[in-house]
Amino acid sequence: MRVLELYSGIGGMHIAFKESTVKHEVVAAVEINGVATDVYKYNFPNTLTLNRVIESFSPDYVCSLNANVWSLCPPCQPFTRLGKRMCEADNRSSSFFHVLDLISILKPAGIILENVKGFEHSEPWRRLIEVLNSCDYEYRQFLLSPLQFGIPNCRLRFYLLARLRSSSWNSNFKMGKSESIDLRPPIDAPMLPGCQCTSCSGVISHIEHTDDNFTEYIQFCRPISEFLLVPSDSSKELYFLDEKCLQRYFRVLDIVRSCDKKTRCFTKGYSKRLEGTGSVFQTSMENEDSFANWFKKYLRSTIEKLTSDYFDDATFFSSSWLIKTSEKITNFYEANKEDEQAVLQYAKLLKLRFFHSREVANMMCFPKSFGTLS
């Protein structure tokens, strides 16, 4: 298998090919972002990296690379739920239409595409399906989240696998020409050798339906604690939320603890924007006793202000309440939002910090050996 990576980023798809154990060679990686290209080169120095716009590639040049599988991870911003959803009107979609022209001409034997949820309702998706049908590809589409594989991160993504009908590939993996989208990991896909994820191990094979929050899968996910930096790694600087951030954004934060099994999707704006860009980590669990003492004292002085709709006396003073889930933190905020000082003191005691980039990489399953530029 000779792979051409288009929109290669920092090399996530390269790692996926490597860990699949399928015999392959990445013949070239194409990425317009200079920083991403540098990180890719750092980790895969023997792979040809091309820091160029895709529109500059002619059919003859791409043909000369002799790649029979193309991986595509086009820019997600035109389709993202936090973006403007301009789809084909976004200039960042123009390179993808050029890729579709190249597919029509060169007809690679296999295509792998990844994008955000929302791509499957766009004009670029419709054009892609049109090209695949006209060129006689069979294909299969998915919307999958890491939560379905035991990873505590909700990052719903669209995947498409396509195979040219006339290719010589033999596989038990069923494909066709249906525009339906699978919402579960494929049970007919071959298991990865040595993989212990909940899909390959068959742990979640009985789950037939799930809600938008993947509630049924969360119980099978690994805890966040398994993805954190080890305490002895003092070389990694951790960034705590300051008082200004807490005052302004506390009400919209998704706060998680080491024992939790779900984090929100981390986006490019993480740590720069606070709303909708990813979870923050609560570090105060190790000081639970001191927090509990303060909290009980505060509650005794303010209990007459709170309504039974939020709490009752038994709930207040139970140890389970003092395990501060996001829902209960939200309830506390709603019941006390007029008392800004109390809310701020409460927020400060949680000792909230951003996840380190290495921790985010761990939850995206980048190997420990994967390095970044200093």
Determine how β-strand 137-144 pairs with β-strand 110-116: unpaired
Q: What is the pLDDT of residue 92?
A: 64
Q: What is the DSSP letter of 131?
A: H
List Cβ neighbours of 122 (8 Å cut-off, separation of 6 or more): 78, 79, 87, 88
- For 300-332, b/e burial (b = at least 16 CB within 10 A) is eeeeeebeeeebeeeebeeeebeebbbebbbbb
Domain boundaries, the chain: 2-211, 243-361
Nearest to 107 by CA among 72, 75, 59: 59
4, amino acid identity? L
In degrees, rounded to 5, the angle at the alpha carbon of residue 224 between the alpha carbons of residues 222 and 228 is 125
Q: What is the pLDDT of residue 223?
A: 97
**pTM, 2 dp:** 0.85
Q: What is the pLDDT of residue 300?
A: 59
Cβ contact 28:65 at 8 Å: yes
Q: Distance of alpha carbon 112 from its chain centroid, rounded?
A: 17
The burial of 299, by beta-carbon neighbours within 10 Å (0-12 exposed, 13-18 middle, 19 or more buried), is given as middle
Backbone phi, psi, residue 334, to 5°:
-60, -35
Nearest to 44 by CA among 95, 78, 20, 9: 9
150, amino acid identity? G
Question: What is the DSSP annotation of 205-223?
Answer: TT-----TT-HHHHTTSPP
The structure tokens listed for 68 are 């029979």
Q: What is the pLDDT of residue 50?
A: 98
Cβ contact 185:235 at 8 Å: no
Site of tokens 């399906």: 129
Backbone phi, psi, residue 259, to 5°:
-85, -10
Sheet holding 255-256, edge to edge: 255-256, 280-282, 352-354
The CA radius of gyration of the chain, in Å to the nearest whole number, is: 24
Q: Mutual orientation of helices 288-302 and 340-349 as an angle, nearest 10°?
A: 170
Q: What is the pLDDT of residue 235?
A: 61
Q: What is the pLDDT of residue 176?
A: 81
Which helix or strand (DSSP H or E) is residue 344 part of?
Answer: helix 340-349
Of 63, 73, 76, 135, catalytic: 76
Q: What is the DSSP letter of 157?
A: E
Q: What is the pLDDT of residue 177?
A: 78
Q: Work out the end-to-end distance of the chain between its first and last CA atoms, rounded to an integer number of angstroms.
A: 33
Domains 2-211 and 243-361 share a fold: no
What is 2-211's CATH number, 3.90.1150.10, 3.30.70.870, 1.10.40.50, 3.40.50.150?
3.40.50.150
Q: What is the pLDDT of residue 311?
A: 46
Backbone phi, psi, residue 131, to 5°:
-65, -45
The structure tokens listed for 87 are 């789809």
In degrees, rounded to 5, the angle at the alpha carbon of residue 341 between the alpha carbons of residues 335 and 342 is 45
What count of Cα atoms within 13 Å lies in the side-chain half-sphere of residue 271? 10
Q: What is the pLDDT of residue 321?
A: 42
Question: Which CATH class for the 243-361 domain?
Answer: alpha beta
Active-site residue, 87 included: no
C-alpha pair distances (Å), 338 with each of 40, 241, 369: 49, 22, 48
Regions of the chain short of the pLDDT cut 50: 286-287, 306-323
Backbone phi, psi, residue 139, to 5°:
-155, 170
CA quadruple 77, 78, 81, 84: dihedral positive or negative?
A: positive
Nearest to 35 by CA among 357, 263, 359, 369: 357
Nearest to 358 by CA among 179, 182, 230, 203: 230
